[in-house]
A = this chain, B = another copy of it.
Amino acid sequence: MKRFKLIVAYDGTNYCGWQRQPKEDTIEGELNKALFRLTGENIQVIGASRTDAGVHACGNVAVFDSETSIPGERLLFALNSILPEDIRVMDSCQVSDTFHPRYCDTRKTYEYRIQTGRTLDPTARLYSHWIPYHLDVEAMNRAGQYLVGTHDFKSFCVAKTQVKTTVRTVTAIKVWQKDIVDGIEGSDSGKETDSPQNIVIRVEGEGFLYNMVRIISGTLFKVGLHAWAPEYVQDILAGCDRTLAGETLPAKGLFLKQIEYL
């Protein structure tokens, strides 16, 4: 028996998330199906991160054991010829039999994308959260820095979460504005605050609570609107109360960018 590791990218739009469910299409389910077709073995992959319905990934990690004779570094080609186009294996290799994608130290990088401007860009609609208001990116970035470090993130996870501790370590947060690559140049939109922004909130950490990145993004969003001062994020942390933080932004704006094994 050999153990293999896959780097998996997907467009989460048409899936009920990673985790296999009886009647629903999921990333895990599609990978298991493809591996069965490829090897004839009843393989259940283990995912590093069980992303929610609608969340996208560039670098999730799946691990499985198999008797296959296909060399690890060739598996991606075999699997990509079977998998639907919205799920791609970006890389594959054999790993040690003791490697487990969840029970080891990792650094995960998530990105949340927000697009502003008076109208949404149709070709970005599935991959970013659109809001018509101009956001103060610099203030959002400043606010984010208060969250970096080891804190109790109770205010930044779903209220009735079933975890031993809500203390987590965020290693970096960066909020910046990308040039609009697609689209809106075509329109002659007027005032400065009309001109669209392509905002990325990057959150890097050693583990996250349920919905944590989407709640952090919703909180920084309020700062970007000048509804809250950047410093207020400290009070939200200290309060340890979900109702203090911003809303949970929609799944479609969230990307699991990569998982590093430390």
Contacts and interface: CB of A to CB of B under 8 A. Distances in A.
Copies in the complex: 2
Nearest to A178: B181
Given A7-B188, A9-B121, A11-B125, 18 more contacts: A9-B123, A9-B184, A9-B187, A10-B122, A56-B123, A58-B182, A76-B118, A77-B118, A80-B119, A88-B119, A88-B120, A90-B184, A90-B187, A90-B189, A123-B255, A178-B181, A181-B181, A182-B255
B11 A122 contact: yes
B119 A86 contact: no
A59 B186 contact: yes
A87 interface: yes
Contacts of A10: 122
A8 to B, nearest CB: 9
A147 interface: no
A125 B123 CA distance: 11
Contact residue range for chain A?
A: 35 or more
A125 B86 contact: yes
Contacts of A184: 9, 58, 90
